[in-house]
């Protein structure tokens, strides 16, 4: 909903982590991503406490795709979290920050040979395998390196989570993983068990994102368990680990009611102990929360640069950021809440559409929302932007990406510097060189 340390003073100005947002905007410029340390740590502890109630204790792996930089990896390491990475770049970021590779889960539905080799030589704790082709590639790379790859097979359990269609991944026709219905998962288990350099550790299934119900998560764990029982019968093999993915929703809007983690975890604990045959060890449960750790910790600050009313009465305010720093409204019609700093709680609300600065009609951050009357130079604060904003940011229109600042107990810490124009051209070849290639 908002960072845990959100406060409004008598001047209607907002502070987070004991730091005034107006001060941060002056110091670092806008747009600016601000993250609250306390909120991140509270959410991490929620997962760790809930999963420690399981026997055997579970483990949470933060999904780096939601937001990752070296400092974030360092914070996660400090709190002994696991980390789910989906590319060589995320893996590199974590390793550079000194993250323990044993607590890294290497994901991705397409991994290059180089990425697989990188993960294996870095000794990551688990690799999640997504396809038959990849299974063979993992075997070949592990054989070449001379190691055994600890593998989870990604299963598509066919659970329909009620969320936006584009971020639903658990259906049978999903591009992700091995289907249960078409027998692919069964073939994958069979094949993995014959491979000399693959050590099959268990299964993974992620059913979607921003899920607001509890039942799909419980059903997901149950599906993995029941299929495991079948494979135990047919192949005499039993998983050490069941990874039920991420996807816990957050409260972007007042009507959003996130699922209760403790309810889900205790239901899964019951299932585990009811269904696991006495002679076998109860599998460990892994979870991969991204959004529910970081979304509410983040706000984005924008400067209002234009206000205008168009024929028909529609009122726009335009800000110095947009789809380059937050693609989610354009990509998923995601909705956010916002406030004008210094005017919080004023009566004179108006309905406005907040437009971005990018050259796309669809670059609209907030559609028809009630805001205090905004003027040029006001500071617009958009809430719950910690997840999938910075990590999905682009340089569209050659706009440098904003800085990321962490706040805690009245102090601010620069986590990621604002990109400069020089950064934008760093990887470009000068024109003369390009021309030489055509001669």
Ligand X SMILES: Cc1ncc(COP(=O)(O)O)c(C=O)c1O
Residue with Cβ nearer ligand X (316 or 332): 332
133, two tokens: 């082709």
Q: Does 63 bind ligand X (CB under 6 A)?
A: yes
Site for ligand X in 225-284 (CB under 6 A): 245-248
Query: 266, 264, 221, 216: which is closest to 242 by C-alpha?
Result: 221
Site for ligand X in 341-400 (CB under 6 A): 387
Residue with Cβ nearer ligand X (247 or 324): 247
Residue with Cβ nearer ligand X (107 or 137): 107
205, two tokens: 């299934």
Are residues 214 and 254 in contact, defined by beta-carbon separation less than 8 angstroms? Answer: no
386 known member of a binding site: no
Residue with Cβ nearer ligand X (220 or 300): 220
Residue span binding ligand X (CB under 6 A) among the ranges 63-71, 91-99, 215-223, 423-431: 63-71
Residue span binding ligand X (CB under 6 A) among the ranges 232-240, 286-294, 317-325, 361-369: 286-294
Question: Least distance to ligand X from the beta carbon of 387, Å?
Answer: 6
Question: Least distance to ligand X from the beta carbon of 434, Å?
Answer: 37
Residue with Cβ nearer ligand X (289 or 324): 289
Site for ligand X in 75-104 (CB under 6 A): 84
- 430 Cβ neighbours under 8 A, 6+ residues apart: none
Question: Least distance to ligand X from the beta carbon of 45, Å?
Answer: 16
- 314 Cβ neighbours under 8 A, 6+ residues apart: 353
98, two tokens: 């000194």
Residue with tokens 């599906």: 223
Q: Does 107 bind ligand X (CB under 6 A)?
A: yes
Residues in binding contact with ligand X, number by CB under 6 A: 18
Residue with Cβ nearer ligand X (217 or 302): 217
Q: Does 291 bind ligand X (CB under 6 A)?
A: yes
CA distance 17 to 361: 35
CA distance 92 to 319: 34
Q: Does 328 bind ligand X (CB under 6 A)?
A: no
**What is the C-alpha R_g of the chain?**
23
Q: How far lies 145's CA from each of 103, 153, 252, 282, in Å? A: 21, 21, 46, 32
- 173 Cβ neighbours under 8 A, 6+ residues apart: none
Would you call 419 helix, strand, or coil by DSSP? coil
Query: 88, 89, 147, 31: which is closest to 403 by C-alpha?
Result: 31
Which active-site residues does the annotation give? 359
Selected binder of ligand X within 292, 318, 385, 389 (CB under 6 A): 292
For β-strands 32-36 and 298-309, DSSP reports them as antiparallel
332 known member of a binding site: yes
Site for ligand X in 27-56 (CB under 6 A): none
Phi/psi for 309 (5° steps) reads: -110, 140
Alpha-helical (H) ranges within 99-183 are 113-121, 132-145
Site for ligand X in 158-177 (CB under 6 A): 169
CA distance 204 to 151: 10
247 known member of a binding site: yes
Q: Does 66 bind ligand X (CB under 6 A)?
A: yes
388 known member of a binding site: yes
Q: Does 289 bind ligand X (CB under 6 A)?
A: yes
Q: Compute the half-sphere exposure of residue 425: CA atoms within 13 Å on the CB side of its CA.
A: 5
Q: Does 216 bind ligand X (CB under 6 A)?
A: no
Residue ranges of the annotated binding site for pyridoxal 5'-phosphate are 247, 288-291, 388
Q: Which residues bind ligand X (CB under 6 A)?
A: 63, 65-66, 84, 107, 169, 206, 209, 245-248, 288-292, 387
Residue ranges of the annotated binding site are 247, 288-291, 328, 332, 360, 388
């Amino acid at each position: 909903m908002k960072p845990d340390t959100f406060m409004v003073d008598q001047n209607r100005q907002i502070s987070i982590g004991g730091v005034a947002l107006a001060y941060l905007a002056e110091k670092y410029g806008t747009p600016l991503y601000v993250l609250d340390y306390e909120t991140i740590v509270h959410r991490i502890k929620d997962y760790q406490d809930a999963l420690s109630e399981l026997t055997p204790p579970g483990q949470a792996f933060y999904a780096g795709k939601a937001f990752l930089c070296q400092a974030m990896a360092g914070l996660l390491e400090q709190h002994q979290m696991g980390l789910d990475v989906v590319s060589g770049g995320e893996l590199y970021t974590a390793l550079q920050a000194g993250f323990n590779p044993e607590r890294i889960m290497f994901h991705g539905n397409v991994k290059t040979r180089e990425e697989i080799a990188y993960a294996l030589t870095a000794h990551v704790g688990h690799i999640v395998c997504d396809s038959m082709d990849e299974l063979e590639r993992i075997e070949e790379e592990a054989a070449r390196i001379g190691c055994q790859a600890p593998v989870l097979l990604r299963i598509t359990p066919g659970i329909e989570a009620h969320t936006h269609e584009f971020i639903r991944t658990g259906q049978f026709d999903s591009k992700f993983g091995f289907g249960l219905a078409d027998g692919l998962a069964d073939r994958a288990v069979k094949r993995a068990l014959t491979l000399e350099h693959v050590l099959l550790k268990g299964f993974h299934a992620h059913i979607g994102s921003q899920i607001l119900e509890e039942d799909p998560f419980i059903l997901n764990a149950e599906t993995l368990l029941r299929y495991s029982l079948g494979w135990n019968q047919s192949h005499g093999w039993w998983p050490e680990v069941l990874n039920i993915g991420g996807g816990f929703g957050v409260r972007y809007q007042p009507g959003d009611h996130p699922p209760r983690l403790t309810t889900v975890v205790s239901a899964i604990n019951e299932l585990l102990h009811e269904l696991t045959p006495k002679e076998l060890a109860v599998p460990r449960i892994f979870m991969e929360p991204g959004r529910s750790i970081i979304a509410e910790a983040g706000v984005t600050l924008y400067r209002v640069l234009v206000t205008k009313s168009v024929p028909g009465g529609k009122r726009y305010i335009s800000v110095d950021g947009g789809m380059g720093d937050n693609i989610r409204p354009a990509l998923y019609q995601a909705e956010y809440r916002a406030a004008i700093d210094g005017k919080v709680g004023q009566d004179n609300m108006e309905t406005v559409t907040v437009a971005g600065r990018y050259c796309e009609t669809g670059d609209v951050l907030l559609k028809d929302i009630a805001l205090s009357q905004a003027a040029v130079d006001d500071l617009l604060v958009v809430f719950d932007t910690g997840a999938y904003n910075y990590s999905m940011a682009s340089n569209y229109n050659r706009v440098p990406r904003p800085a990321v600042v962490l706040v805690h107990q009245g102090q601010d810490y620069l986590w990621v510097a604002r990109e400069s124009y020089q950064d934008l051209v760093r990887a470009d070849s000068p024109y003369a060189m390009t021309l030489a290639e055509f001669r």
